[in-house]
């Protein structure tokens, strides 16, 4: 996996960080060690105690790996430099340039905070169906789920705010492929790039702002769709998704919002269901609109995989920092009054329902039961009047408190703080490179032997954890990695093919002149070399 890591820019951190002075574990060793840890699914420093330090150290060319305390100290030395964002933006620009993409996927991922040192805003955690203190990370990926960079929110920023204030400026100024002003003038429909997101970022006013201010197109699902298009508007198209040709019935119309034309594309999956898609990109073909929109699930799968395999929510240490007191946040008092108002209105709705049922029962019953029903209705009416009075009081109280206030104006015991995210961002950067390297190897094997992505992912994880021999030859300046066989002939054929591809990359081990050679330990050439 080392050639794949190097190809993804693992050692391109050097222009951004200063080296350790007089240290046994230098910066190259720590970076390599962390990448090997994450690939082997070792999520934190505490799990190192279950490993043999000498055996793992051989992978790094040293006597032993650092202990947990030493590793934490090294990470603090790295994070003090505050260079991770600079490295991340530079590497993201290289990835975008290499892949030539102009379609970017944006989505948020909450990281639950279970500590008691920081006071964070609460977020809704959909997988837990709870509102909990959390840090919100906004990831930018390509249409295959490969990550580019991540931006961390301060307090309670929503997806639309982050796209407008953080993500579009970074993409336009630092990462996206440049487009000359002459090209934009010659083609008024040409966007600088297109961002794709789910319904959380839906806002027609924002779509217009993105285009008029930055010439950025959007691609997202439509919201609050109630009408159905006639079936004769739909035509069958062949849409390639995940290597398979899928038949889709698509239709397109053009809508207008405040002088801006927006394309609406619908996919009919059944006679009763139509999926509506909106885009301001007038250059995309209708088939590519469907491909890019339905590929958004690659980003959801990316979150699931990194959470399960790389423990993306894990933090190696916690450092609490003061937040910028000028940031505008939702007023906690306003939120509490809104919640109380919501509960009061729910009670009013229930009382109205009970009163309606009582009146219906009174009409359908005999005269002897009328006094009892009238008494019940009088009681419900009095309760309704009390609740409406309470509702009016809550409305008047809420008017006295603005919806948003500055952090400095919050009550002292409720003021938000934040965690120092430099360490988390540094871990995310290493994990992004590891994921991209693992995915690249999986794609190579998938195109050659395997048909199912799950099988090739399992094989890659098996190869990473497989044992082997490391044979250095300082005269020939080679480092031969002899891989032991896998569990089946098909897996061995895939491993042999992978060894050929890794050897052809002509990679050298970082910090040395030794060229990496990969082969199976059962090959005759490997046996001859052992003899």
What one-character DSSP code corresponds to residue 111? E
Per-residue pLDDT, averaged over 322-333, amounts to 80
Provide the pLDDT confidence category of residue 116 given band limits of 50, 70 and 90. confident
Determine the Cα–Cα distance for residues 267 and 234; give it in Å rounded to an integer: 8
- For residues 372 and 316, the model is more confident at 372
Give the model confidence (pLDDT) of 471-516 as tens digits: 888 888 888 888 888 888 888 888 888 888 888 888 888 888 888 8
Give the model confidence (pLDDT) of 27-80 as tens digits: 888 899 999 889 888 888 888 888 888 888 888 888 888 888 888 888 888 888
Give the pLDDT confidence score for residue 195 in this predicted structure: 93
Q: What residues form DSSP beta bridges with 249?
A: 236, 268
Give the pLDDT confidence score for residue 450 in this predicted structure: 66
Enclosing domain of residue 351: 332-401
Write out the H or E segment, with its range, that includes residue 129: none
CB neighbours of residue 450 within 10 Å: 18
- Number of structural domains in the chain: 3
Question: Residue 531: pLDDT above 70?
Answer: no
Contact in structure between 196 and 221 (CB atoms under 8 Å): no
What is the per-residue DSSP string for 197-252?
E-GGG--HHHHHHHHHHH-EEEEEE-SS------GGG-EEEEEEETTEEEEEEEEE
Give the model confidence (pLDDT) of 456-476 as tens digits: 888 888 888 888 888 888 888
Give the pLDDT confidence score for residue 392 in this predicted structure: 93
pLDDT > 70 in the chain, percent:
96
Give the pLDDT confidence score for residue 447 in this predicted structure: 59
136 within some domain: no
Give the model confidence (pLDDT) of 419-429 as tens digits: 778 888 888 89
Provide the pLDDT confidence category of residue 529 given band limits of 50, 70 and 90. very low
What one-character DSSP code corresponds to residue 282? S
CB neighbours of residue 262 within 10 Å: 20
Q: Is the pTM of this model over 0.85?
A: no
391 within some domain: yes
**C-alpha distances out from residue 10 to 148, 270, 439, Å:** 14, 47, 15
499 within some domain: yes
Give the pLDDT confidence score for residue 128 in this predicted structure: 79
508 within some domain: yes
Domain boundary among 61, 80, 99: 80
Supply 198's token pair: 């789910």
Q: In the block, which residue shows the tokens 């100290």?
A: 73
514 within some domain: yes
Mean pLDDT of the chain: 85
Determine the Cα–Cα distance for residues 215 and 189; give it in Å rounded to an integer: 9
Domain boundary among 351, 386, 401: 401
150 within some domain: no
**Which region, left, alpha or beta, applies to residue 129 given φ > 0 means left and ψ of -120 to 50 means alpha?**
left
- Give every CB contact of residue 170 below 8 A, 6+ residues apart in sequence: 89, 149, 151
Supply 512's token pair: 């040395």
Give the model confidence (pLDDT) of 377-393 as tens digits: 888 889 999 999 999 99
**C-alpha distances out from residue 267 to 222, 224, 245, 252, 254, Å:** 12, 16, 15, 9, 15
Per-residue pLDDT, averaged over 200-219, amounts to 90
310 within some domain: no
pLDDT > 90 in the chain, percent:
18
Question: Residue 350: pLDDT above 60?
Answer: yes
Domain boundary among 58, 80, 102: 80
104 within some domain: no
Per-residue pLDDT, averaged over 90-115, amounts to 88
Give the pLDDT confidence score for residue 523 in this predicted structure: 56
């Amino acid at each position: 996996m080392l050639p794949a890591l190097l190809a993804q820019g693992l050692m391109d951190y050097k222009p951004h960080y200063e080296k350790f002075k007089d240290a046994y574990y230098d910066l190259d060793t720590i970076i390599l060690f962390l990448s090997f840890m994450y690939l082997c699914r070792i999520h934190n420093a505490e799990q190192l105690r279950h490993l043999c330090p000498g055996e793992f150290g051989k992978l790094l060319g040293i006597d032993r790996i650092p202990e947990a305390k030493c590793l934490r100290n090294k990470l603090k030395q790295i994070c003090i430099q505050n260079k991770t964002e600079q490295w991340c933006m530079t590497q993201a620009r290289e990835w975008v340039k290499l892949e030539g993409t102009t379609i970017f996927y944006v989505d948020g991922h909450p990281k639950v905070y279970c500590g008691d040192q920081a006071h964070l805003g609460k977020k809704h955690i959909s997988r837990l169906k709870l509102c909990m203190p959390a840090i919100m990370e906004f990831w930018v990926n390509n249409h295959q789920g490969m990550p580019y960079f991540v931006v961390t929110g301060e307090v309670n920023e929503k997806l639309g705010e982050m796209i407008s204030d953080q993500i579009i400026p970074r993409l336009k100024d630092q990462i996206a492929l440049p487009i000359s002003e002459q090209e934009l003038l010659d083609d008024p429909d040409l966007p600088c790039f297109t961002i794709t997101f789910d319904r959380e970022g839906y806002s027609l006013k924002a779509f217009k702002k993105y285009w008029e201010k930055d010439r950025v197109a959007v691609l997202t699902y439509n919201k609050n769709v109630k009408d159905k298009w006639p079936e004769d508007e739909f035509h069958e198209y062949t849409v390639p998704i995940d290597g398979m040709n899928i038949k889709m019935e698509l239709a397109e119309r053009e809508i207008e919002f405040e002088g801006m034309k927006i394309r609406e594309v619908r996919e009919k999956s059944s006679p009763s269901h139509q999926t509506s898609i909106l885009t301001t990109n007038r250059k995309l073909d209708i088939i590519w609109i469907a491909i890019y929109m339905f590929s958004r699930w690659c980003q959801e799968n990316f979150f699931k995989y990194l959470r399960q395999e790389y423990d993306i929510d894990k933090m190696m240490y916690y450092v609490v920092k003061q937040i910028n007191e000028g940031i505008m946040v939702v007023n906690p008092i306003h939120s509490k009054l809104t919640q109380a108002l919501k509960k009061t209105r729910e009670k009013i709705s229930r009382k109205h329902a009970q009163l309606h049922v009582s009146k219906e029962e009174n009409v359908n019953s005999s005269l002897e039961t009328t006094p009892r029903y009238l008494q019940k209705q009088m009681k419900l009416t009095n309760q309704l009047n009390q609740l409406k009075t309470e509702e009016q009081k809550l409305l008047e109280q809420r008017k006295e408190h603005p919806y948003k206030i500055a952090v400095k104006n919050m009550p002292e015991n409720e003021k938000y703080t934040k965690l120092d995210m430099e360490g988390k961002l540094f871990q995310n950067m290493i994990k992004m490179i590891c994921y991209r390297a693992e995915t690249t190897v999986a794609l190579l094997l998938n195109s050659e032997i395997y048909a199912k992505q799950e099988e090739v992912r399992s094989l890659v994880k098996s190869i990473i954890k497989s044992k082997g021999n490391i044979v250095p030859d300082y005269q020939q300046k080679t480092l031969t990695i002899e891989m032991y066989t896998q569990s089946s002939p098909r897996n061995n054929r895939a491993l042999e093919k992978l060894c050929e591809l890794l050897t052809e990359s002509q990679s050298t081990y970082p910090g040395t002149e030794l060229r990496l050679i990969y082969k199976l330990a059962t090959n005759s050439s490997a046996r001859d070399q052992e003899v």
